[in-house]
Amino acid sequence: MFENGLWHRLSDVDGLSSEQRAELAAYWWQRAEGEMTSWVGFRHVLDDLEVEGSPPKLIALAKRAVHDERQHALWCRDWAMKFGRVDSSEPRPRSERRVELGGASESENRVLRVALCCFTETVGCFILRHVRPRVSNPELRALNRRHLADELQHSRVGWGYLASIDERRKDLLRQRVSELLDLLPIACCDGSEQDLDELVPFGYFTPRLLRKAHDEAVHEVIVPGLVHLGLRSTA
């Protein structure tokens, strides 16, 4: 994709206006920062799983996710450059703070962090699936497939953990899972995205797309998964 340090420009990208290019460059950089924040978050989850004494296969999967999230950030940085950004430095995470719910102890927050990560990665799968039919650029379509394959593995970290926890941890989740589900749309849908539907073919996630993906993930996977594991009633 690079030649002499510069991106090849494809025909569909060349048809964009300078304003659209600038919007996409800023957006892909924003996503790069988001992926770096996920990189930090998965490092926290990896620490949590190790302290929790989780099965070695889950630990190995979480280590892979840490590596993947940084790579995803670099992919997004490169696409920001493709659309016109000149700064090639590595994006920085928006925060390095551990996610913590009020009133929860350190050990309880470990359980809650892994569960929230499970939900966000599941929503991520649906977001990538929703945008795929609209993506026209061949390189972006290939990236979407690779990213979705990674995201699916990342979601399995959380689901594998939830399937392995003891009754004490299950009781905690039953009591606080509604709080996590309330946080989920904030984490996955509340950003600076605008209703720029014409940019979706270039990987742009509109608020409508994000919300639809979130709602389907909760309805089709997350709530049924919680019910199946005995972590939420059918009501």
Structural domain contains residue 7: no
Nearest to 130 by CA among 190, 204, 185, 68: 204
The tens digit of pLDDT for each residue in 18-50 reads: 999 999 999 999 999 999 999 999 999 999 999
Q: What is the pLDDT of residues 76-122, one digit of tens each?
A: 999 999 999 998 899 999 999 999 999 999 999 999 999 999 999 99
- What CATH number did the domain enclosing 106 receive? 1.20.1260
Q: Is residue 124 part of a domain?
A: yes
- Residues 12, 137 contacting (CB under 8 angstroms): yes
Q: Is the pTM of this model over 0.85?
A: yes
Q: Tell me, yes or no, whether 2 lies in a domain.
A: no
Q: Which residues of 108-141 are buried (b: 16+ CB within 10 A; e: fewer)?
A: bbbbbbbbbbbbbbbbbbbbbbbbeeebebeebe
pLDDT at position 15 is: 80
The answer to the question of residue 1 being in a domain is no
Answer yes or no: is pLDDT of 141 > 60: yes
Residue 115 lies in a domain: yes
CB 122 within 8 A of CB 221: yes
- Given pLDDT bands bounded at 50, 70 and 90, which one contains residue 53? very high
Residue 6 has pLDDT above 60, yes or no: no
Cβ atoms within 10 Å, residue 197: 12
Domain that holds residue 95: 14-228
- Evaluate whether residue 9 is within a structural domain: no
* 200 part of a folded domain: yes
Residue 6 belongs to a domain: no
Q: Give me the number of domains the chain comprises.
A: 1
